[in-house]
Amino acid sequence: MLKSLLPNDYVKTVHDIPLEELKQQGIKGIITDLDNTLVEWDRPEATPEVKEWFQQVKDAGMKLTIVSNNSEKRVRSFAAPVQVNFIHSAKKPMTKAFVEACKQMNISVSEAVVVGDQIFTDVLGGNRANIHTILVVPVTDTDGVFTRFNRRMERYVLSWMRKKGMIHWEE
């Protein structure tokens, strides 16, 4: 079970994801979480930096889909202005939305990566769908009500993994 919570890679922000390296590995699409992965959970729109990253993904020849557990209203209001495809109410860590995102991008799961800030939703769901996972540091220290409990459990699990030598990145 714990191995399912272990991300394949870890970076501080989406901006640190090596797009060209992923492309060379055959990656054609990125499935990304929204809240606290791209922007703060309470920020309604993309920052200039996130818009620039979207363009870099596109310039690298990759497709992009936001997969979020949040409501349609929240995800649509963020994604529509920047013309990014999305799946809302995803029920992560269930795999259905990840597989659907791959279908929408017309790629196989082996040609995708999942990027997110939570091991119990993004990483677990991506790993269960057999998709390469990349964990990022949350963009803010605050969380919505439902995420606070997950964060406490996540800190415990990551600490245990670090002590067992399963992960090697810094806090």
Look up the CATH number of the domain holding residue 139. 3.40.50.1000
Structural domain tally of the chain?
A: 1
**Domain annotation covers residue 168:** no
pLDDT digits (tens, 9 = 90+) for 37-92: 999 988 999 999 999 999 999 999 999 999 999 999 999 999 999 999 999 999 99
**Domain annotation covers residue 39:** yes
pLDDT value of residue 128:
97
pLDDT digits (tens, 9 = 90+) for 100-110: 999 999 999 99
Q: Is the pLDDT of residue 15 over 60?
A: yes
Over the chain, what is the mean pLDDT? 91
pLDDT value of residue 73:
97
Confidence class of residue 1 from pLDDT cuts 50, 70 and 90? low
Share of the chain above pLDDT 90, in %: 75
Domain enclosing residue 112, as ranges: 2-163
User: Among candidates 106, 100, 103, 77, which has minimal Cα distance to 87?
Assistant: 100
Threshold 0.85, pTM exceeds? yes
